[in-house]
A = this chain, B = another copy of it.
């Protein structure tokens, strides 16, 4: 039995609390693999035979248009799993995935996992909770794209980061171009939005470090309409 694989599996949040025998049977079907920054894991429209979990590194999931514009849907880091959708539908991946850094990944095949779910209701409930939380995020993303302008979306993003990092000195977790793609815009427009927030005295920016000067003001802006 591969203890590397077992410890990797144990560090995935979705598998937390899974009893040892089930973790072992997961280890029998899961594969551990490395991949390099920039490597494509799968593309939108390909048949989805496996889902993934990040052991180390960072992966982005996105949709691209023919002209090369891209919309990032999520970015996943250590402990998170992704691409579960085709597991339960038996169809294609709805989006593409690419490693942003050199990463270690677990790949888990559809078939065996569904079998395990049949026997493990608590794991199944965990999966439902995970899918639900992702739906909640997407609902928010749709609302932001349709209802808010770029500076407001940026304000919301910074507030989320602040909540995650627990202080006013933020370190951007992605290059700005990728943040633009996540916010549904392009680097030029993001630059101008950053400038706008800076001019309003809400933030200070130096490279990938951001200081939140006025969290209240950011929140007001993020909620604002017009």
Interface residues, chain A, with chain B CB atoms under 8 Å away: 63, 65-67, 69, 71, 73, 84-89, 91, 94-95, 114, 117-119, 121-122, 124-125, 127-129, 131-136, 138-143, 145-148, 184, 223-226
A85 neighbours in B (Cβ, 8 Å):
132, 135-136, 139
Given A71-B147, A139-B94, A139-B138, A118 and B127 contact (CB-CB distance below 8 Å): no
Instruction: Choose among B119, B129, B139, B184 the residue that contacts A63 (Cβ–Cβ < 8 A).
Output: B139
Cβ-defined contact, A89 with B147, below 8 A: no
The contact sample of 15 A-B pairs, CB cut-off 8 A, is A63-B139, A63-B142, A63-B147, A65-B143, A66-B225, A69-B146, A69-B147, A73-B142, A87-B128, A89-B136, A94-B136, A114-B125, A117-B125, A119-B121, A145-B184
A88 neighbours in B (Cβ, 8 Å):
125, 128-129, 131-132
